Structure 1
Amino acid sequence: MSKGTIVITGASAGLGAEMARQFAALGYDLGLCARREEKLEALREEITAAHPERRVELRSLDVTDHETVHTVIHDLAGAFGTLDRIVVNAGLGKGAALGKGRPDANRQTAMTNFVGALSQAEAALEVFRAQEHGHLVMVSSMSALRGMRKAMTVYAATKAGVASLAEGLRSERVPGLDVSVVYPGYIRSEMNEHVAQNTPFMVDTETGTRAMVRAIEKRKAKAYVPAWPWVPIGFLLKRVPLSVVRRMT
């Protein structure tokens, strides 16, 4: 028997793929979305081999294509009959210091991380309002708590925008809707595989994702994950002068 249905975007690798594995193990049926269909197929084979009772639907999705986002979310709602949770996870880690000749990378990051998240939230709320229930999960970042410098400037701004969207929806108090924002710290993933292996506080994908899944299952409004050391770091980041933030990042 299924515990419910979860849609995860950006599910072909990294945190999205690991969330799919862990939610399947908890008993959820899954709608997995990403651009790389062959990776999705491999992930479905892995999950159904480990959990034959699980239903895994796949959809090709580029979250910057608004019309396709709408179509895919509604198609999955029709396929499953109901969607209990949608995890807005798809994102890019590209970026460059503004004025350094890479506006293309910064625009692509903004379109994927913020405009894409907006499209996903829009489609999700159409489904959830019609159902009169649902759990929207927005994956932000610890970098969203303050303005970041150089290559992180646009990425951090987009993730702050994602968190603000979620807070606005919570403030609206849509009947039957729960909204969670997850702020991952340093969790090893495909996005940051170029980062040095000895980066302080970096945890492996499985460990970091487990903390994310626990927070999502509790339907927390806001969660810094893993809690240690990111809860105290988050407390400090929001209060120290920008000159201190500059030295921390």
Structure 2
Amino acid sequence: MDNIGNKVVIVTGASSGIGEAIVRKLAADGAIVVLAARRKDRLEKIAGDINASGGKALYYTVDVTVEKQVRELVDDVVARLGRVDVMVGNAGLMAQAPLSSLKVDEWDRMIDINIKGVLYGVAAVWPVFEKQQSGHFINISSVAGIKVAAGTGTVYSATKYAVRALSEGIRVESAGKFRSTVIYPGYVESELMYGSSDEKTREAVIAGYAKYAIPAASVANAVAYAISQPADTAINEIVIRPTSQEF
């Protein structure tokens, strides 16, 4: 697609689901994709597929909750490729449960991945974008960042509302220099459905995905659309739901 070819795009959470779909789509459109996640075997397989089919991909084993690892990832990409054009903050955890179950450890983990993980990416790439005087932040929130699922999704929603606020703050603070896009997926095929330790909630979530979920490629196409716009045009927000999802 126009304006995607040869752009250097870092994608966190790239070992499965939405992240995997994004790197495969952008590589097919000519981007140089950088995969970041914890599962080396999955990253190696996906990057290998892309390179074998004529695309360009690098991969890094990274835990987005460790700021040093994210910073070193970005530094190494710049050293090897000379720039970063797009940072996609996609890594996430959806550990849904009633607030009253007081799963504090899971709250902490979601805050670390869903909020800090995105912030660490911003902190690592912002100076690069400043030097280039160009760049694009794309953050994956959720429909839960627009509407709270009563009874099970309060803390998850809180983290995804935070991603929404962060993305809007990036837009305001970087106006005229960088672009900011936040995407709110509804039921989309991913491993997020398995994140809940609360058995009743987990069963309900999996049933919801079985009923509604659309392919992760739907989000990848939206990411490609946002990147492909001319430099003077920013697609700031995209909501993607299955046509049959009524909430």
TM-score by length of 1: 0.84
Q: Is 1:199 paired with 2:214?
A: no
- Match for residue 75 of structure 1? 76
Give the conservation status (yes or no) of the 8 Å contact 1:136–1:180.
yes
Q: Which amino acid aligns with 1:3?
A: N
Q: Is the 8 A contact 2:14 2:36 kept in 1?
A: yes
Which aligned pairs between 1:6-155 and structure 2 lie closer than 5 A? 6-51=9-54, 54-155=55-156
Give the distance between the partners of 1:6 and 1:208, measured in 2 at CA: 16
Q: 1:213 is matched with which residue?
A: 224
- Residue 71 of structure 1 deviates from its aligned partner by 1.5
User: In structure 1, what is the Cα distance between the partners aligned to 2:220 and 2:179?
Assistant: 20
Identity %: 29
Q: 1:182·1:225 contact (CA, 8 Å) conserved in 2?
A: yes
Mapped contact 2:9–2:88 kept (Cα < 8 A): yes
**Closer, same or farther: CA 36–198 of 1 in aligned 2, 3 Å:** closer
Q: CA deviation at 1:76?
A: 1.1
Q: Which amino acid aligns with 2:211?
A: T
Whether contact under 8 Å (2:139, 2:163) holds in the other structure is: yes
Distance 2:81 2:35 in 1: 13
Q: Are 2:225 and 1:224 aligned?
A: no
Aligned letter for 2:191? E
Kindly indicate whether structure 1 or structure 2 has the higher relative contact order, using CA contacts under 8 Å at least 6 residues apart: 2
Paired with 1:103 and 1:72, the residues of 2 have a C-alpha distance of: 30
SS at match of 2:68: helix
TM-score (norm 2): 0.85
Q: Distance in 2 between matches of 1:207 and 1:161?
A: 23
Question: Aligned-pair RMSD on alpha carbons?
Answer: 2.2
SS of the aligned residue for 1:158 comes to: helix
For 2:146 and 2:172, locate their aligned partners in 1 and report how far apart those are by CA, in whole Å.
Answer: 19
Which consecutive residues of structure 1, in runs of 5 or more, have no partner in the other structure? 234-247
Once residues 7 and 42 of structure 1 are traced to their aligned partners in structure 2, the CA distance between those partners, rounded to angstroms, is 17
CA distance in 2, matches of 1:105, 1:11: 22
Shifted more, 32-41 versus 146-155: the winner is 146-155
Give the secondary structure class of the aligned counterpart of 1:92: coil
SS of the aligned residue for 1:112 comes to helix
**Native 8 Å contact 1:133 1:175 kept in 2:** no
Contact kept in structure 1, 2:214 and 2:242, CA below 8 Å: no
Is residue 27–residue 50 contact of structure 2 (8 Å, CA) maintained in 1? yes
SS of the equivalent of 2:58 reads strand
Equivalenced residue count is: 229
Distance 1:24 1:85 in 2: 13
| Matches of 1:60 and 1:220, distance apart in 2 | 30
Q: Which moved more, 1:9-18 or 1:216-225?
A: 216-225
Q: Is contact 2:143–2:186 with CA below 8 Å preserved after alignment?
A: yes
Q: Deviations over 1:101-140 (max 9, x none)?
A: 4211121111110111111111121211122110111111
Gaps of 5+ in 2: 195-204
Contact 1:15–1:205 (CA under 8 A) maintained in structure 2: yes
Structure 2 SS opposite 1:47: helix
- Which amino acid is 1:30 matched to? V
Which moves more between the two structures, 215-224 or 153-162? 215-224
Deviates more, 1:74-83 or 1:189-198: 189-198
Q: CA–CA distance in 1 between the matches of 2:243 and 2:74? A: 34
Q: Secondary structure at 2:9's aligned position in 1?
A: strand
